[in-house]
Amino acid sequence: MTQNDNHISPETALDKVPRHVAVIMDGNGRWAKGRGEERLFGHRHGVDAVREVVKTAAEAGVGYLTIYAFSTENWGRPTDEVDGIMELIAGAILSELDTLTGAGIRMNFIGDLASLPESLRASIRTAQAVRIPDRQLRMTLNVALNYSARWEITEAMRQIGTLVQQGDLSPDEITPSLISDHLATRGIPDPELLIRTSGEQRLSNFLLWQLSYTELYFTDTLWPEFGRDQMLAALREYGRRERRFGRL
Enumerate the active-site residues: 26, 74
- Backbone φ, ψ for residue 14 (5° rounding): -125, 150
Q: Is 241 within any annotated ligand binding site?
A: no
Q: Is 29 within any annotated ligand binding site?
A: yes
Q: Is 190 within any annotated ligand binding site?
A: no
In contact, 96 and 170? CB cutoff 8 Å: no
Question: Roughly how many angstroms between the first and final C-alpha of the chain, as a whole number?
Answer: 40
Distances (CA, A) of 168 to 62, 155, 161, 165, 171: 38, 18, 10, 8, 10
Q: Is 202 within any annotated ligand binding site?
A: yes
Q: Is 138 within any annotated ligand binding site?
A: no
Distance, CA of 109 to CA of 185 (rounded, Å): 9
Distance, CA of 102 to CA of 105 (rounded, Å): 7
Q: Is 43 within any annotated ligand binding site?
A: yes
Q: Is 113 within any annotated ligand binding site?
A: no
Amino acid, single-letter form, for residue 183: L
Q: Is 20 within any annotated ligand binding site?
A: no
Q: Is 204 within any annotated ligand binding site?
A: yes
Within its chain, how far is the Cα of 123 from the centroid?
A: 17
Q: Is 196 within any annotated ligand binding site?
A: yes
Q: Is 75 within any annotated ligand binding site?
A: yes
Q: Is 30 within any annotated ligand binding site?
A: yes
Distance, CA of 111 to CA of 73 (rounded, Å): 12
Q: Going by DSSP bridges, is the β-strand pair 105-110/139-147 parallel, antiparallel, or unpaired?
A: parallel
Q: Is 77 within any annotated ligand binding site?
A: yes
Distance, CA of 200 to CA of 170 (rounded, Å): 42
Q: Is 170 within any annotated ligand binding site?
A: no
List the one residue out of 42, 44, 82, 25 whose CA is nearest residue 204. Answer: 25
Amino acid, single-letter form, for residue 212: S
Q: Which residues are annotated as a binding site for substrate?
A: 27-31, 39, 43, 71-73, 75, 77, 196, 202-204
In the annotated binding site for Mg(2+), the residues are 26, 215
Residue numbers belonging to the annotated binding site = 26-31, 39, 43, 71-73, 75, 77, 196, 202-204, 215
